[in-house]
């Protein structure tokens, strides 16, 4: 009997079935996030906010796989990065409008996720993680060698273009509005996935895989499905990012990007709905505002991560959820 | 008298690195009966179960279920044919409530595959009545909203049986359903098994011999991976080889 060595879903935040109260609380959190999305650009730089939202969506997508599928991918940069390249290439060279470019990038990530996922889910635990890493390294190598990606230079000066050919995205505030909508839509979709009949089966598989099998669930198909969904949403984040920053580069497909998204998810709280957003906020903020310290950023990040794991293993939001005794 | 056999094995063998856990087992389970598989520790009973439900692949031999060769099938597909097992270590979904545990099985039976990630969980509520009836049947009504992880051992077993029954299987494989249960629970579970056996076939591994004696129509005794004896309780319990295997294993 294959030992389900998939990441033992650490301390599952507030381990009890969700009640109607919890749903009401979640609705309030959603409204809170919507309000923040509207108000934030009045106070903070839209470019910084857009970075937070793109990485937030990336981390949310990753957490869908790790926190709810129990699968630790070490190669999520592949979907984020390849989508970013395709989106940038489409907008710059093929003259796609931004929504088509983003769609093209997202679809690419979905297809890549289907192929990589189908290979990786054949193994469990650390072997699964190693396969995702190896495949992502191949995607990196491809990006380095292929002509259209611009090698070390990446694809620069990508035009933001006009949304639906009508609304110019050149203004950061207009661009921000689009990113906020994409982010919020992605968040709602992920919330729905988690709370769907499909999500229920995922949780069952994570809880007791053998029992799920003995009830007749073909668990590998569910794992593949959540893998593809996660890769697709990671692609949506990457493709959007390329339009926002008008750039797709090797950084996006590099393994350190895969590591960063793991970091964001763990700091925020894996297996919590909202944790990855907080994680992305913390990490991006550190990178942005500590940039003056140069290479020290990585050291500081490392310390934060170590402290985080030592002090509150369930992440920031996981900790809050435990304190208020409600799932978040 | 022609026997109506629902599950049959032929030359079923499983080797682990040279060690033969199950050796040339020919088992025939008649439809509608309660068939017990007993034997001293290490006799290969659980391995046998894992082979029958495809959680292990046999080294040699074949398994036929309802006239169909299932030797090469995957465990989830065997379950879909109505051959459903329980586990020795109680298999519940620990972070699901009692109701949710039963409902996930009903979901499989009524919805088949659930890849509908775009639909709200609410659609599962229509399974609640049926789930509650099953929860009631095993006496867990007052624990319906309790997380499975918080249940006592005996209640976990009861929940597991309710979950298994939710699939309405034609044949149940129960791996030590009474293990670790208190006296009261044993009696209740025995009654439950008798009740659900009405239109089903049950193959169970069980150590509690009084349970085996009162419940089963037919008993197969395994020792060292091989079939030692077969028959009803009276026949088997008088068989000198069986006595020797049990006493020998206990006092050697």
User: What's the pLDDT tens digit per position in B60-107?
Assistant: 999 999 989 999 999 999 999 999 988 877 689 999 999 999 999 999
Q: Would you place residue A16 in the very low, low, confident or very high pLDDT band (cuts 50, 70, 90)?
A: low
Q: Which residues of A touch B91 (CB under 8 A)?
A: 208, 210-211, 214
pLDDT exceeds 60 at position A272: yes
pLDDT at site B131? 93
pLDDT exceeds 50 at position A101: yes
Q: Would you place residue A286 in the very low, low, confident or very high pLDDT band (cuts 50, 70, 90)?
A: confident
Chain A, nearest residue to B81 by Cα = A216
Q: Would you place residue B19 in the very low, low, confident or very high pLDDT band (cuts 50, 70, 90)?
A: confident
CA neighbor of A312 nearest in space, from A280, A258, A268, A271: A268
* Mean per-residue pLDDT over chain A, rounded: 89
Q: Residue B114 in contact with residue B107, Cβ under 8 Å?
A: yes
Domain with CATH 3.40.50.300 in chain B: 1-89+169-252
Q: Which residues of A touch B55 (CB under 8 A)?
A: 1, 210, 213-214
pLDDT at site A3? 39
Q: Which of A236-245, A301-310, B27-36, B132-141 has the lowest mean pLDDT?
A: A301-310
ipTM score above 0.85:
no
Q: Would you place residue B249 in the very low, low, confident or very high pLDDT band (cuts 50, 70, 90)?
A: low
Chain B, nearest residue to A220 by Cα = B76
Average pLDDT over residues A125-154: 91
pLDDT at site B90? 67
Between vectors from CA B119 to CA B116 and to CA B122, what angle results, nearest 5°? 125
Q: Is A270 left (phi over 0), alpha (psi -120 to 50) or beta?
A: beta
Give the predicted TM-score (pTM) of the model: 0.86
CA B201, B205, B207, B209 torsion-angle sign: positive
**Comparison of pLDDT for B50 and A291, the residue scoring more:** B50
Q: Which residues of A touch B145 (CB under 8 A)?
A: 17
Burial class of A52 by CB neighbour count within 10 A (0 to 12, 13 to 18, 19+): buried
Task: Pull the structure tokens for residue A259.
Answer: 């590591």
- Closest Cβ–Cβ partner in B80, B121, B167 for A196: B121
pLDDT exceeds 90 at position B208: no
User: Phi and psi dihedrals of A112, rounded to 5?
Assistant: -60, -40
Residues of B with CB under 8 A from a CB of A: 50, 53, 55-56, 74-77, 79-80, 84-87, 91-97, 100, 104-105, 107-109, 111, 113-121, 123-124, 145, 147, 149, 163, 167
- Class for the domain spanning B1-89+169-252: alpha beta
pLDDT at site B252? 40
pLDDT exceeds 80 at position B181: no
pLDDT at site B223? 87
pLDDT at site A2? 39
User: What residue segments make up the domains of chain A, in order of their start?
Assistant: 2-254
The listed range with the strongest mean pLDDT (B25-34, B37-46, B234-243) is: B25-34
């Amino acid at each position: 009997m294959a030992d389900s060595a998939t990441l033992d879903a650490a301390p599952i935040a507030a381990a009890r079935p969700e009640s109607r109260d919890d749903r009401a609380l979640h609705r309030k959190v959603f409204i809170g996030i919507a309000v923040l999305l509207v108000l934030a650009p009045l106070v903070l730089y839209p470019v910084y906010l857009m970075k937070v939202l793109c990485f937030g969506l990336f981390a949310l997508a990753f957490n869908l796989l790790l926190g709810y599928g129990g699968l630790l991918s070490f190669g999520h940069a592949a979907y984020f990065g390849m989508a970013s390249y395709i989106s940038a290439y489409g907008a710059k060279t093929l003259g796609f409008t931004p929504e088509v470019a983003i769609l093209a990038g997202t679809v690419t990530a979905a297809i890549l996720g289907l192929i990589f996922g189908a290979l990786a889910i054949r193994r469990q635990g650390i072997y699964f993680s190693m396969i995702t890493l190896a495949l992502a390294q191949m995607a990196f190598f491809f990006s380095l060698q292929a002509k259209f990606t611009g090698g070390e230079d990446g694809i620069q000066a990508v035009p933001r273009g006009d949304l639906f050919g009508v609304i110019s995205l050149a203004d950061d505030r207009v661009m921000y509005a689009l990113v906020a909508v994409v982010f919020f839509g992605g968040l709602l979709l992920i919330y729905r996935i988690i709370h769907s009949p499909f999500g229920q089966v995922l949780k069952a598989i994570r809880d007791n895989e053998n029992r799920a099998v003995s009830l007749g669930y073909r668990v590998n198909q569910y794992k593949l499905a959540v893998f593809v969904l996660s890769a697709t949403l990671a692609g949506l984040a990457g493709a959007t990012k390329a339009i926002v920053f008008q750039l797709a580069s090797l950084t996006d497909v590099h393994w350190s990007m895969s590591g960063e998204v793991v970091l964001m998810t763990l700091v925020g709280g894996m297996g919590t709905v909202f944790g990855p957003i907080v994680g992305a906020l913390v990490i991006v903020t550190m990178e942005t505002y500590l940039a003056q310290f140069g290479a020290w950023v990585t050291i500081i990040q490392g310390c934060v991560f170590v402290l985080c794991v030592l002090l509150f293993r369930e992440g920031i939001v996981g900790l809050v959820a435990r304190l208020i005794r409600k799932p978040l | 008298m022609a026997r109506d056999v629902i599950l049959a094995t032929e030359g079923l063998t499983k080797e682990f690195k040279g060690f033969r856990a199950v050796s040339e087992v020919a088992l025939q389970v008649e439809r509608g009966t309660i068939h017990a598989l007993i034997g001293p520790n290490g006799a290969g009973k659980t391995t046998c179960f894992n082979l029958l439900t495809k959680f292990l692949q046999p080294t040699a031999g074949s398994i036929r279920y309802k006239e169909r060769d299932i030797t090469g099938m995957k465990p989830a597909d065997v379950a879909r044919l109505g051959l459903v097992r329980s586990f020795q270590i109680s298999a519940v979904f620990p972070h699901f409530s009692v109701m949710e545990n039963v409902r996930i099985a009903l979901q499989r039976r009524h919805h088949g595959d659930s890849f509908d990630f775009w639909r709200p969980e609410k659609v599962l509520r229509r399974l609640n009545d049926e789930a509650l009836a099953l929860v009631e049947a095993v006496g867990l009504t007052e624990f319906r909203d309790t997380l499975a992880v918080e249940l006592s051992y005996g209640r976990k077993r009861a929940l597991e049986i309710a979950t298994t029954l939710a699939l309405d299987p034609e044949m149940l494989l129960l791996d030590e359903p009474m293990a670790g249960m208190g006296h009261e629970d044993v009696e209740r579970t025995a009654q439950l098994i008798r009740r659900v056996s009405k239109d089903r076939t049950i193959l169970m591994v069980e150590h509690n011999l009084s349970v085996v004696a009162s419940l089963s129509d037919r008993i197969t005794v395994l020792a060292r991976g091989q079939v030692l004896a077969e028959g009803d309780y009276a026949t088997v319990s008088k068989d000198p080889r069986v006595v020797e295997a049990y006493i020998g294993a206990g006092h050697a």
